[in-house]
Amino acid sequence: MKRGTKSMVPKGFSRRSVLQGSAAIGVASVIGGTLGLAKNARAQPANVHYELAIDFLDDARVYNGNLLGPTMRIRPGDTLDVDLINNLPALHDDCTDNHNQEHGLNTTNFHTHGLHVSPSTDSTGEFDADNVFVSLVPEDQIVACEEVCGVDVKTMFRYGSNRFRFELPDDHITGTFWYHAHKHGSTAVQVGDGLAGPLIVEDEPGVMPDYIEQAVERIFFVTNRGMMLVDEQGGGEMNPEITMRPGEVQRWRVINGTGNGTDFAFMRPNIANLEMHLIAFDGVTQDRRIPVDYEALDEPWFNPSALASGNRADFIVRAPSVAEPRDTLRSTNLSRVVDMPIKIEGAPVDALWSNEDTLPGRGAYPVRRY
Ligand SMILES: [Cu+2]
């Protein structure tokens, strides 16, 4: 495979922290003239910006030189701008009359999986939104569609770089989503390479129960190469040992980003006395948490810890004081079993917990802005 020749160095990272900081101070001063956010108050809508430069890394197409893209964090009402920069070499292979044949392998697009946003343009019409007909080709690529296909194709070509703008409504649901390349003919290859990443629509403060709101967050991304515990930039550890302190409560956001549509991924911790409850699925918070019996390898559609390709599941997990190893590991030929080795170590913590199983459901009620 031909390698990219342009810079592999990311051109810049998110300005999210700066934006969030200034927005929070603005709200606090309006509410009471003092710093600090009141419970149930929310930040003003922000314009959140990420830049994704695509290059080759070890023969795989990647964002910003990392195994995955950065974790994008937004809130209901925000505008998300993604500047996509295609540094891949031109292939001149974009047009084909067979839709089911791989083509346009260095041509890409950007899709926010699960967001309720425009499938065409932003509200001004100036920027592309989640539009499957947009194709971002390398800067110097020749697109000879009429020659190759003999017809004018519907695709709208962009060259080199493009800004995508996603406007989230004020009452957008909060939860775990993801983004990925979505150009027909190259999606499976590019997502398998790593052109994907977590996308979190943050909960409104005060909506989730305290023990969930204060839980330590971990994001796990199931890829074709294994399960990755991701860091915010898109690096991370593949098939990690998961450390928890005795009594610690963690919120696991799990994304099945594999390109194989027939694979169910089963999350299977290796200790018998871990408390694990499903609290959200596909970005929708449940009305009640569901205890996960991760020893039971039922049909995947009965098992709350099974994720089909593209699914997301959020779990609230509490570590025991001492791990009891499981003695049997039942196997299944139905699916991809994702083993989660847990290591309980460090000083015990007295983390908030509740035996009450009620959850806010869709949770994200429209919140009045101040
Ligand atoms: Cu998708």
Between the CA of 112 and the centroid of ligand 1 the distance, in Å, is 7
DSSP β-ladder status, 306-308 and 264-269 = antiparallel
Q: Which pLDDT tens digit goes with each residue over 69-90?
A: 999 999 999 999 999 999 999 9
Domain ranges of the chain: 16-201, 210-344
3-state secondary structure (DSSP) of residue 189: helix
Find the range with the poorest average confidence among 203-207, 282-286, 294-298. Answer: 294-298
Between the CA of 111 and the centroid of ligand 1 the distance, in Å, is 7
Quick one: pLDDT at residue 328?
62
Between the CA of 94 and the centroid of ligand 1 the distance, in Å, is 21
Between the CA of 310 and the centroid of ligand 1 the distance, in Å, is 6
Q: Which residues touch 317 (CB under 8 Å, ≥6 apart)?
A: 244, 249, 250, 251, 252, 269, 274, 275, 276, 277
Between the CA of 42 and the centroid of ligand 1 the distance, in Å, is 29
273 closest CA partner among 327, 315, 219: 327
Between the CA of 245 and the centroid of ligand 1 the distance, in Å, is 34
Q: Which pLDDT tens digit goes with each residue over 13-53?
A: 333 333 333 333 333 333 333 333 444 456 689 999 999 99
The domains spanning 16-201 and 210-344 adopt the same CATH topology: yes
Q: How confident is the model at residue 268 (pLDDT cuts 50, 70, 90)?
A: confident
Greater pLDDT, 187 or 337: 187
Q: What is the CATH number of domain 210-344?
A: 2.60.40
Between the CA of 35 and the centroid of ligand 1 the distance, in Å, is 40
Between the CA of 282 and the centroid of ligand 1 the distance, in Å, is 11
Between the CA of 114 and the centroid of ligand 1 the distance, in Å, is 7
At the topology level, CATH places domain 16-201 in: Immunoglobulin-like (2.60.40)
Q: Which pLDDT tens digit goes with each residue over 321-354?
A: 999 988 665 665 556 778 899 999 999 999 999 9
- Asked whether the predicted pLDDT for residue 253 surpasses 70, the reply is yes
132 closest CA partner among 153, 102, 161, 101: 153
Between the CA of 58 and the centroid of ligand 1 the distance, in Å, is 24
- E strands within 64-116? 72-74, 79-86, 111-113
